[in-house]
Amino acid sequence: MKYRINNQVVLSQIPLGPLAAHIGSFADFISAQGYALYTIHRQVHLAADFSQWLKLKGIELHCISSDHPRLYLRDRARQVQPCRGDAAALSHLIGFLRGEGLIPTEKVSEPRLTPAEHCAQAYEQYLREARALAEATIVNYVPFISHFLKDCFGDGPVTLSDLSARDVVSFVQHQAQRLHRKRAKLMTSALRSFLKYAHYRGEMSLDLAAAVPVIPNWSMPSIPRAISPDQVKQLLEGIDQHTAVGRRDYAILLLLARLGLRSSEVALLELDAIDWNTGTFSVRTKSGLRHEFPLPFAVGKAIAAYLRDGRPVSGSRRVFLRAKAPIRGFRGAGAIGSIVRHALKRAGIKAPTYGTHQFRHGLATEMLRQGASLGEIGDVLGHRHPQTTMIYTKVDLEALRTLALPWPGGAL
């Protein structure tokens, strides 16, 4: 006798055990995540077998823990050839049961922190709550401070009043040798911030921030590597817009190339941020501020095509979603970078880099060559400081040559 779970899955027998009444809801849950029919079948059958095992072991619903799937799979392996996705499938099941409130959330004992880690954690909280710094800044600063405290105090007590200028200078000199110049400057900024924080809290009588060595900063040492307009055109023409993934990738590449968005801004773009009536949209920049952009016709058309004929059905408010289950928004900027790398390789383009920032550089370079001012370029790219935009004055050498005065006395 067959038992129908929903309109997609049929079991050979009625499910038994503590999960029997919830297997249908689980099937609907994973179906809504966009999994293929074969995967839904496999996960539901595994859930039914797991429920039968729980019944044989005398384990009730409220007693199920994350250890039970592991024990079940160990027993199952004695009779059935294990499949690679079995553990992940049962992990989805446990997550579903917890989300529905059917089994309790397990308390994970927090690892015991060393005094240095406690100190770094307090500094992190200060940056987030008192200073309200951008998350990107916090993520970059705190590891340097953890390393500094570990280097100075090991796993023992942290007595910041014992620190000396020699400790600070020694740490910077040692670390700067193995870091890129930009990372080294970031490290020194983090150290100055932490030492000022410690002095402000009264944990240090001396303000050792002044003892942090200065990393040499040559003005605009390198020219940004920019993708050329011809390469952008070739890249866009190589995208197959007849597929859902192609429509998504085409819209993403247009946002990068035509508006110079950062990869994180594209990944986190939400449906509510687009105002179709006014033809504008806004993104949250890395500094945490909102930046409004005009929505060019070609870009809006590409996004609309994806939303209408490519975007999977989902409750997510993100504009761009994963093409494979679980269907959800991208976790971060890395996914956009991956899309760019694959698109460049498929098109056979030897771009300056395989990263996403080359599109910002390419847009700025082209605007400069067409006569845009540095202020206009900075506004488009969302630069907070004019110095950031100044680097693009190095890219248009031909335009700069027209400003050169002739040599007195003519040619020799």
Active site residue 324: no
Distances (CA, A) of 411 to 286, 287, 408: 51, 52, 8
Alpha-carbon gap, residue 190 to 196, rounded angstroms: 10
Catalytic residue among 150, 286, 291, 341: 286
Provide the pLDDT for residue 400: 46
**Does residue 68 carry a catalytic annotation?**
no
The single-letter DSSP state of residue 210 is G
Nearest in space to 168 (alpha carbons), one of 200, 145, 143, 142: 145
Q: Which of 170, 181, 168, 245 is nearest to 211 (CA)?
A: 168
Q: 196: exposed, middle or buried (C-beta count within 10 Å: 0-12, 13-18, 19+)?
A: middle
For residue 172, which amino acid is it? V
The answer to whether 286 is a known catalytic residue is: yes
DSSP letters for 30-97? HHHTT--HHHHHHHHHHHHHHHHHHHHHT--GGG--THHHHHHHHHHTTTS---TTHHHHHHHHHHHH
**Of 35, 72, 250, 392, catalytic:** 392
For residues 244 and 59, give the distance between their C-alpha atoms in angstroms, rounded to a whole number.
45
Return the SS3 of 408.
Answer: coil
Domains of the chain by start residue, with CATH: 3-99 (no CATH), 115-211 (1.10.150), 229-398 (1.10.443.10)
Maximum pairwise Cα distance, the chain: 104
Q: Which of 92, 248, 311, 357 does the annotation list as catalytic? A: 357
Residue 250: closest CA among 233, 274, 271, 229 = 233
Active-site annotation holds for 291: no
> Among this protein's residues, is 360 annotated catalytic?
yes
Q: What is the pLDDT of residues 376-394, one digit of tens each?
A: 666 667 666 555 555 555 5
Q: Answer for the pair 138, 186: CB distance below 8 angstroms, yes or no.
A: no
In this structure, the number of other CB atoms found within 10 A of the CB of residue 323 comes to 15
Pairing outcome for strands 10-11 and 3-4: antiparallel
Complete edge-to-edge strand list for the sheet that includes strand 290-294: 274-275, 280-284, 290-294
Contact call for residues 3 and 10 (beta carbons, < 8 A): yes
Angle at alpha carbon of residue 232, lines to 230 and 238, rounded to 5°: 105
DSSP per residue over 248-295, as a string? HHHHHHHHHHHH---HHHHHT-BGGGEETTTTEEEEE-TTS-EEEEE-
Question: Quick one: which of 99, 86, 27, 84 has its CA closest to 53?
Answer: 86
* Contact in structure between 184 and 215 (CB atoms under 8 Å): yes
Of all helices (H) and strands (E), which one includes residue 175? helix 165-176
Catalytic residue among 45, 76, 284, 383, which? 383
Q: Which whole-number Å values give the CA distances from 79 to 42, 130, 213, 265, 383, in the listed order?
A: 17, 58, 65, 50, 62
pLDDT digit string (tens) for the chain, length 412 residues: 566 776 677 677 788 889 988 988 888 888 888 888 888 888 888 999 999 999 999 999 888 988 899 998 998 888 888 788 888 888 989 988 998 888 888 776 667 889 999 999 999 999 988 888 878 888 889 999 999 999 999 999 999 999 999 999 999 999 988 888 888 999 999 999 999 999 988 999 888 998 999 887 655 555 567 889 999 999 999 999 999 999 999 999 999 999 888 888 999 999 999 999 999 999 887 666 788 888 999 999 999 999 999 999 888 999 999 988 888 999 888 899 999 999 999 999 988 888 888 888 888 887 777 776 666 666 667 666 555 555 555 555 444 454 455 666 555 4
Q: Are 122 and 194 in contact (CB under 8 A)?
A: no
Strand partners, 267: none
